[in-house]
């Protein structure tokens, strides 16, 4: 009965509830749209990688149709030599390695404030890259 005496409070409460409902009904589809766009971009990048790999493999197949490429691969991979040629093998000195021993530690993410977390939720940044 107290609310009926003060219609302003009832109207403000109703507007706050309505605003919250509108916000919630708009954020979820917006996040789904952003997630779908990220998935499409990821799929396009993956497709481009597959197309580049396919073109590379097609070039390799085309190159394998020539005798010079077959000879080059036999010499390189299998160590074949022609009669009368001498083959030499060069070895790396002991202890030499290609691995780098100074690995940098991964950066520690800074703690986010609640405002940043809400913004990430609204924009979909919390869904991951």
| pLDDT, tens digit, 9 for 90 and up, residues 46-73 | 999 999 999 999 999 998 899 998 898 8
Report pTM: 0.45
Measured CA to CA in angstroms, residue 47 lies from 33, 35, 39, 44 at distances of 21, 18, 12, 5
For 81-100, the pLDDT digits (tens) are 889 988 888 888 988 766 55
C-alpha 64/C-alpha 93 separation (Å) is: 34
Q: What's CA 100's distance to the chain center, in Å?
A: 25
């Amino acid at each position: 009965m107290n609310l009926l005496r003060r219609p302003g409070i009832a109207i403000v409460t109703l507007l706050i509830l309505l605003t919250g409902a509108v916000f919630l009904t708009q954020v979820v589809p917006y996040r789904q749209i952003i997630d779908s766009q990220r998935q499409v971009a990821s799929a396009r990048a993956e497709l481009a990688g597959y197309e580049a790999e396919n073109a590379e493999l097609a070039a390799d197949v085309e190159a394998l149709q020539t005798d010079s490429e077959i000879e080059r691969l036999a010499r390189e991979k299998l160590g074949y030599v022609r009669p009368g040629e001498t083959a030499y093998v060069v070895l790396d000195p002991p202890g030499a390695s290609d691995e780098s021993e100074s690995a940098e530690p991964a950066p520690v993410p800074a703690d986010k404030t609640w405002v940043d977390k809400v913004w990430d939720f609204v924009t979909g940044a919390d869904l991951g890259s």
